[in-house]
């Protein structure tokens, strides 16, 4: 019996038509990815996401009218993969807070693009080491929270799992660290996201730093 892998549906949002065409041509050549729509600005990206219900929106940050960060905050039904450049790294923190699931440098290879879409569609956070360093530097500038009241809703074990997620550990590494099965770790993460009303792993990382559960350098 042959099993069909679920096709990942993608919307590409970028104000440059040639960029959209290039990304679409490569992604459509992948057996498990289909570009179902394109958008030239943030407002159109939000409309396409609502109408087409894609799994992933590939989102440029700088677009006319509604920019990529504002559009990301409005999209609730799809994962958002932000397109960035070295010059735009200052937007990383704002984009994560808006709900972005990951970042891809615009000079990434075609293979990296396809893999990034797959990773984000699977619910994982996609943060390159370079972007993560920028993010941690931004967290280091934030005032230290005086309490952790917002963590009262999760259990001690879930708090342990959240801390390890924020430190960048994979499910396999967390399972090994806490002597749990990977499925149990996945269950814990799902409960954490539900209880704290977070969209995905990337937002969980931001949350953990903001409430002081982990700190830069820890």
**Half-sphere exposure of residue 78: CA atoms within 13 angstroms, side-chain side:** 30
| Token couple for 13 | 């949002």
Per-residue model confidence as pLDDT tens digits over 95-138: 877 888 888 887 888 888 999 899 888 877 676 555 655 665 66
Residue 2: inside a domain:
no
Whichever domain contains 187, its CATH number is 1.10.10.10
Tally of domains in the chain? 2
Is residue 118 located within the same domain as residue 63? yes
Residues of the chain with pLDDT > 70, as a percent, come to: 81
Task: Tell me the pLDDT tens digit for each residue of 166-217.
Answer: 887 888 889 999 999 999 999 999 999 889 888 778 778 888 877 878 776 5
Residue 93 in domain: yes
Query: What pTM was computed for the model?
Result: 0.72
H and E: helices and strands count for the chain? 10, 5
CATH number at residue 113: 3.40.50.2300
Considering the domain architecture, whether residues 94 and 149 belong to the same structural domain is answered as no
Q: Which long-range contacts (CB under 8 A, 24 or more apart) does 116-120 make?
A: 116/81, 117/8, 117/10, 117/27, 117/33, 117/56, 117/58, 117/81, 118/8, 118/32, 118/33, 120/56, 120/79, 120/80, 120/81
Residues 40 and 22 grouped into a single domain: yes
In a domain, 215, yes or no: no
**Domain, as residue range, for 178:** 143-210
Same domain for 47 and 100, yes or no, is yes
Q: Are residues 19 and 127 in the same domain?
A: yes
Residues 54 and 26 in one domain: yes
Instruction: Examine residue 92 and state whether it is found in any structural domain, yes or no.
Output: yes
> pLDDT at position 2, please?
40
Has residue 181 been placed in a domain?
yes
**Angstrom distance (rounded) from CA 58 to CA 60:** 7
Asked if residue 129 and residue 41 are part of one domain, the reply reads yes
Q: Are residues 89 and 165 in the same domain?
A: no
pLDDT at 47: 96
Q: Say yes or no: 92 and 158 in one domain.
A: no
Say yes or no: 39 and 99 in one domain.
yes
Torsion (CA) 52, 54, 56, 60 in degrees, nearest 10? -10
The tens digit of pLDDT for each residue in 22-71 reads 999 999 999 999 999 999 999 999 999 999 999 999 999 888 888 899 99
């Amino acid at each position: 019996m042959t099993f069909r892998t679920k096709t990942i549906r993608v919307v590409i949002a970028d104000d440059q038509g040639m960029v959209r065409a290039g990304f679409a041509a490569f992604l459509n050549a992948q057996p498990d990815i289909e570009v179902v729509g394109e958008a030239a600005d943030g407002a159109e990206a939000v409309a396409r996401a609502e109408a087409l219900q894609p799994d992933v929106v590939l989102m440029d940050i700088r677009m006319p009218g509604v920019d990529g960060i504002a559009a990301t905050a409005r999209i609730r039904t799809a994962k958002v993969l932000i397109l960035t450049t070295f010059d735009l790294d200052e937007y990383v923190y704002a984009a994560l807070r808006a709900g972005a699931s990951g970042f891809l440098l615009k000079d990434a290879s075609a293979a990296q693009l396809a893999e990034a879409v797959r990773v984000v569609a699977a619910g994982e956070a996609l943060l390159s080491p370079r972007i993560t360093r920028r993010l941690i530097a931004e967290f280091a500038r934030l005032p230290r929270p005086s309490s952790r009241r917002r963590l009262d809703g999760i259990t001690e074990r879930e708090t342990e799992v959240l801390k390890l997620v924020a430190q960048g550990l994979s499910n396999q590494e967390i399972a090994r660290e806490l002597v749990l099965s990977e499925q149990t770790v996945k269950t814990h993460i799902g409960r954490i996201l539900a209880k704290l009303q977070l969209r995905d792993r990337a937002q969980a990382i931001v949350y953990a730093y903001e409430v002081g559960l982990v700190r830069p350098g820890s």
